[in-house]
Amino acid sequence: MNGSTSNSKNGLMKFGSSGVRGGFRVGNVDARRDFLDVRDIADAYARTVLNSRDLAPNTIFNIASGVSWRMGDVLDLLLAQSSAEIVMEQDPLRLRPSDLPCIVGDATRARTLLGWAPEHPFEDTLAAVLEDCRARVARAQVG
């Protein structure tokens, strides 16, 4: 997951699934970003290595889903899976003037030359991130 959601993920981790009320500050929730599950990225890397003899030297691949997600919608999906009551507040200090409104990749070359395509739906990846956060909170409470 890219850096723009790491604060949000850490906020969910902090509040866990205990139902504790809380909130955290966010930046530009209207920015749109392209996300991939790390397992899909690893698959693309493996396919690149396995096909390296058939590729022209210095072939460059974009590894991307080709779908942009609005950051606010990503946070809403995470919050919908949480039993905690969490309030988001936009923090002007987290807004970056150089922030591009939409970043989305085109993985046509990887799809064509490697036969690669993402296999893990983004919603499943988000659920896995939240589950990992819950497990970390539970381990921290035990230890």
Residue-range domain boundaries for the chain: 3-124
Could you tell me the fold of the domain covering 3-124? Rossmann fold (3.40.50)
Burial bucket for residue 34 (CB in 10 Å: 0-12, 13-18, 19+): buried
The residue type at 125: T
The mean pLDDT value for 2-19 works out to 48
Q: How confident is the model at residue 74 (pLDDT cuts 50, 70, 90)?
A: very high
Cα distance between residue 141 and residue 143, in whole Å: 6
pLDDT digits (tens, 9 = 90+) for 111-124: 999 999 999 999 99
